[in-house]
Amino acid sequence: EPFPEYYQSCETEEAHADKEVEKAYELAISKVCEEVIRFREIGSDVTSPPPFTMEDVNNSGFNGNEDGATRSDSPVPLSFHMDSEVTAPQLSEHSEAEPRPGLAIPEDRKKDVLEEIRIMVNSDRMRLATKRRFVAMCNIILRIEYLLFRRHQSPVDPVSFLTGEEVEEVMYLAGEIMKYLTIIDNILLQELDYAQRVQHSIKYIADDTRYNVVTRFKNMAEVIINHLNKPRPSEQRLLTVFLDFFDSYIYTDFISIRHRQLRTEENWSPIRMQMTRRMVDIWDMINRAIENYDAIVKITMDIKHKYIEPHFNEMNEAPRIWRNAMIQHHIEIQRARMRQSAQQAQARE
């Protein structure tokens, strides 16, 4: 409704300004002011929902949780844990130790992909939690690469020259990478599920001719803004570069050496087999994350081009409807945060 309902109680002495509601409105409107300015031009920011990020596993989605709009960061593994006070986790440098002879990947390629990762995680567009997670994984990879290919100058087999403690460390660190990737995998699987459900809902709304086009677009806008989160190109690119990073520093050389060793039965090693399974699992999980991210992007773009842009081009009311839905969405987010803050304050009393 354009105006709230009128209550006679507002004329009594008990009437008072609801500061929390006013603050929620102010914050919500500030969030969409840039959208309002750009409503005359159809752009990805105007016709897209709010962004999601690989930093948490909670989502408002369709779970019915009214406080779900406020996302919380997932805990990182204990190893390589970055303290919450640290605002700029640092990526380690390329090792100056000489690599063992016979490696397939040249040093220059490793340095180039490390520098590319460094530029990406230091970008202002990268969320701090995402940066911490990827910096931790990259530092672990650099440590594993040093243990496998630099500490012992073996021209044949890096695994057989590792000490028992080094084998244990490599296996532990590989497991830590799997923990990080499992968090990311769960986030992306959840987001993909939401995207598929939104896509199905939007198609149903668009095909429901019982309602006029304005009502249908209003319903579509509310579903998209409340339940579909826009992928971040920077994170999508980060996953691809991270795969190249893992491949350059560990995967290609480790798998190549393993294949050479398998030709000789006497070189069979259960330790090498366990390490190989871990490396292949990491490779598979990174690729699956990339595939899921690509699928989310495809669904988001399909919704935008098939349902949103045509309405913006053909319907004068579309910008106003979209703006109102955005404002209401941010109001609900701020209200949820205020409720959560009030509950936390009450719990501390």
Sole residue written with tokens 């354009």 = 2
Residue 210 counted as domain residue: yes
13 inside domain: no
Mean pLDDT for 46-71 is 47
Give the span between the Cα atoms of 3 and 1, in whole angstroms. Answer: 6
The backbone region for 64, taken as left when phi is positive above 0, alpha when psi lies in -120 to 50, beta otherwise, is: left
Can you give the pLDDT at residue 67?
A: 40
- 244 within a domain of the structure (yes/no): yes
Euclidean distance between CA atoms 197 and 176, whole angstroms: 32
pLDDT tens, position by position, 190-216: 999 999 999 999 999 999 889 888 999
pLDDT higher at 132 or 158:
132
Residue 175 CA, distance from chain mean position? 20
Q: Is residue 29 part of a domain?
A: no
Q: Which residue, among 80, 44, 77, 74, has the nearest Cα to 58 in the 3D structure?
A: 74
Structural domain includes residue 40? no
Mean pLDDT of all residues in the chain?
A: 77
pLDDT tens by residue, 4-30: 443 444 445 454 556 665 666 555 555
> Which domain, by its residues, includes 248?
47-315
Q: Which of 62-71, 171-180, 248-257 has the lowest mean pLDDT?
A: 62-71
How many distinct structural domains can be found in the chain?
1
Residue 95 within any structural domain of the chain: yes
Percentage of the chain lying above the pLDDT 70 cut = 69
Pick the range with the lowest mean pLDDT from 187-201, 247-261, 307-321: 247-261
Residue 265 lies in a domain: yes
| Nearest C-alpha neighbor of 111 from the set 249, 234, 240 | 249
With cut-offs at 50, 70 and 90, classify the pLDDT of residue 52: low
- Domain assignment present for residue 35? The answer is no
Q: State how far the Cα of 26 lies from the Cα of 301, in Å rounded to an integer.
A: 31
Structure confidence at residue 327 as a pLDDT band (50, 70, 90) = confident
Per-residue pLDDT, 178: 96
Report the length, in residues, of the chain.
349
* N-to-C CA span, the chain: 39
Q: Residue 292 pLDDT more than 80?
A: yes
Query: How far is the C-alpha of 74 from the C-alpha of 312, rounded, in Å?
Result: 37
